[in-house]
Amino acid sequence: MTRRAEGDLGACMDMANATTRMLLHWEPVVLSDLGSADVYPSIFNYAFSCELYLKAIQMHRSSNCEFARGHDLRFLFDLLEVCDRDDIRAEYERLALDEDGTRKLWALPFDKVIDANRRTFEDWRYAFEKEGLRVQMSCLILLSKAIRTHACKITGYPCPTAPSLTTCED
């Protein structure tokens, strides 16, 4: 039996978008040095944003804003309606293409990515307690973008974009 809860769609989308804005701000820094300790918070926060957007989609489709509890991305994804799953897969596949229409060499298939990251939020929060954790950061980012794009499209909430990394002058 799936444990369900009722939530506030607006609060969920606000949280997901706030997490995403923070990630987009730091993405260039993190991607420039994937060996840095700075990557750890980004890993579990990308997974967290996926979780929040998946739950927002569930709430949007529910008559009483219900969503499934838990952090397992594959589980949460599989509970979505077929049309939502198909749209997210299609968006991921679109994002996985280079400008010339060929698949990016590093872009793994959608199902491999969501399966590999199903417990990323749980595992990477305390990565120092585990050995052998691996993540394909670029694919996790694509997964996050695909889920975010669909959630924003169907809920009508604005999709966060990368902020300028310029500094303010006094």
End-to-end Cα spacing for the chain: 57
Categorise residue 27: left if φ over 0, alpha if ψ from -120 to 50, beta otherwise: alpha
Q: 105-162 pLDDT, tens per residue?
A: 899 999 999 999 999 998 888 888 888 888 888 899 999 999 999 999 999 999 987 5
Listed by start position, the domains of the chain span 4-155
Q: In sequence order, what are the residues at sequence separation of 6 or more whose Cβ sits closer than 8 angstroms to the Cβ of residue 122?
A: 71
CATH 1.20.120 assigned to domain 4-155? The reply is yes
Neighbour tally for 141: CB within 10 Å: 18
Percent of the chain with pLDDT over 70: 94
Specify the higher pLDDT residue, 2 or 131.
Answer: 131
pLDDT in the model for residue 31? 77
pLDDT in the model for residue 151? 97
Q: 44-65 pLDDT, tens per residue?
A: 999 999 999 999 999 999 989 8
